């Protein structure tokens, strides 16, 4: 297989293998704001009481995944009622469509509940069979948050300092590219800044950190869904050291042998700030890091 991806900082196009699906978890910022968010959630439920049943105001009636989404994406997910997420723009999203889905359907046609169907296992560095936590994304939710077009997503991007350079298409590193465009939505740019600050303290890791692009509005190769790179909260790094499942097979149902050449220290720093790693997927994509605090939260972080 091959993936092509583009680096962006200078509009440079690189050809490389890439990835593009990504997962991950926990926003420390949000995790620390638990009490105020609870208060907010309660307030929301109260305000909707006129339309509501008394039961809906009970915490027990809110699925765990919906509660996590309210906690980590408080700007957008304001409440839950009658099986729907209540969004800040007044719209709603069906939380669980009730359909039984195949593995591929869980990726291509996910409702919010499906995003929690897989285990992001922080206790093992070898992903469980067919466990791809984070590859499943409810597009309706992500487009509402990050933007529903290249233009809409682009309008929320800012330059984040990335002092480790960008990969060139000849396998080298362009040190003159010192920023990467990342979204301000959900504070993802701020979380990436924290990742950078920690990575800077580890010179031994810097050779793995040349970036190969973040924002790129496009579908996942061979699939109907948008790549996580479409939303501006995903970055690929260290392509030179990357491994990608599609180099073994393009069939999602095939047996895939796990491979990884990335130091786990890098992964732990990203995860600490709410990013999941594609190397924790059975269908691994080790260059891929994606801001997905809900996945980390669900993993117990
Ligand atoms: Zn990627």
- Does 112 share its domain with 173? yes
Buried b / exposed e over 162-184, threshold 16 CB at 10 Å, is: bebbbbbeeeebbeebeebbbbe
Residue 52 burial (CB count, 10 A): 15
User: How far is the centre of ligand 1, averaged over its atoms, from the C-alpha of 228 (Å)?
Assistant: 7
Residues in Cβ contact with 220 at an 8 Å cutoff, skipping those fewer than 6 apart: 20, 21, 226, 227
For Cα atoms 96, 97, 102, give the angle at the middle one, nearest 5 degrees. 100
Judge contact between 174 and 215, C-beta under 8 A.
Answer: no
Q: Is residue 269 part of a domain?
A: yes
Do 109 and 258 lie in one domain? The reply is: yes
| Contact yes or no for 258/300 (Cβ under 8 A) | no
Gap from CA of 107 to ligand 1 centroid (Å): 15
**For residue 230, what are the β-bridge partners?**
none
Per-residue pLDDT of the chain (301 residues; tens, 9 = 90+): 333 444 333 333 433 344 443 333 333 333 333 344 333 333 333 333 333 333 444 556 899 999 999 999 999 999 999 999 999 999 999 999 999 999 999 999 999 999 999 989 999 999 999 999 999 999 999 999 999 999 999 999 999 999 999 999 988 999 999 999 999 999 999 999 999 999 999 999 999 999 999 999 998 877 778 999 999 999 999 999 999 999 999 898 999 999 999 999 999 999 999 999 999 999 999 999 999 999 999 998 8
Centre of ligand 1 to C-alpha 252, Å, is: 17
Q: What is the residue whose two structure tokens read 């200078």?
A: 10
The CATH number for 270's domain is 3.30.1380
Closest to 296 in 3D by CA, of 73, 79, 85:
73
Q: Is the same domain home to 86 and 186?
A: no
Tokens 């839950």 — which residue?
A: 80
Distance 46 CA to ligand 1 centre (A): 40
State how far the alpha carbon of 241 is from the alpha carbons of 4, 19, 104, 132, 237, in Å: 16, 13, 27, 21, 9
Q: How far is CA 39 from CA 34, 45, 294, in A?
A: 9, 10, 19
The CA 231 to ligand 1 mean position distance, Å, reads 11
Final residue belonging to a domain, choices 39, 68, 94: 94
Residue 182 CA to ligand 1 center (angstroms) comes to: 13
- Structural domain span for residue 78: 51-94
CA dist 46 and 97 (Å) reads: 25
Identify the three-state secondary structure at position 275.
Answer: strand
Residue 5 CA, ligand 1 centroid: distance in Å: 9
Res 21: pLDDT = 37
Rounded CA separation 121/273 (Å): 16
Q: How far is it, in rounded angstroms, from Cα 128 to Cα 152?
A: 36
Provide the 3-class DSSP secondary structure of residue 167. Answer: strand
- Domain boundary among the residues 94, 122, 152 is at 94
CA of 133 to the centre of ligand 1 (A): 15
Whole-number Å distance, alpha carbon 217 to ligand 1 midpoint, is 12
Specify whether 59 is located in the same domain as 152. Answer: no
Please tell me the predicted confidence (pLDDT) of residue 26: 34
Å from CA of 101 to ligand 1 middle: 25
pLDDT of residue 224: 78
Contacts of 57 (CB under 8 A, 6+ apart): 45, 46, 49
How many domains does the chain contain in total?
2
Q: From the CA of 75, how far away is ligand 1's center (Å)?
A: 25
Residue 31 lies in a domain: no
């Amino acid at each position: 297989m091959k993936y092509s991806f583009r680096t962006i900082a200078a509009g440079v196009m690189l050809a490389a293998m890439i990835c593009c699906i990504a997962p991950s978890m926990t926003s420390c910022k949000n995790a620390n704001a638990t009490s105020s968010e609870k208060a907010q959630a309660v307030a929301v439920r109260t305000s909707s009481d006129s339309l509501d049943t008394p039961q809906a105001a009970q915490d027990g009636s809110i699925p765990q995944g919906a509660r996590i989404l309210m906690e980590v994406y408080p700007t957008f997910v304001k409440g839950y009622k009658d099986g729907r997420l209540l969004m800040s723009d007044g719209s709603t999203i069906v939380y669980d469509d009730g359909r039984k889905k195949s593995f591929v359907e869980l990726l291509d046609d996910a409702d919010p509940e499906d995003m929690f169907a897989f285990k992001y296992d922080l206790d093992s560095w070898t992903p469980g069979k067919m466990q791809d936590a984070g590859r499943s994304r409810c597009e309706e939710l992500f487009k509402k948050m990050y933007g529903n077009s290249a233009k809409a997503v682009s309008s929320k991007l800012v330059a984040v300092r990335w002092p480790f350079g960008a990969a060139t298409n000849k396998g080298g590193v362009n040190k003159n590219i010192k920023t990467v465009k990342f979204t301000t939505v959900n504070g993802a740019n701020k979380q990436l800044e924290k990742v950078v600050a920690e990575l800077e303290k580890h010179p031994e890791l810097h050779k793995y950190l040349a970036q190969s692009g973040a924002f790129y509005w496009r579908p996942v190769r061979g699939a109907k869904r948008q790549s996580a790179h479409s939303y501006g909260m995903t970055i690929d790094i260290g392509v030179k050291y990357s491994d990608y499942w599609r180099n073994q097979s393009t069939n999602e149902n095939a047996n895939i042998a796990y491979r990884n050449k990335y130091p786990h220290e890098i992964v732990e720093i990203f995860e600490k700030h709410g990013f999941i790693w594609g190397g924790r997927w059975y269908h691994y994509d080790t260059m891929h890091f994606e801001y997905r605090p809900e996945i980390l939260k669900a993993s117990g972080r």
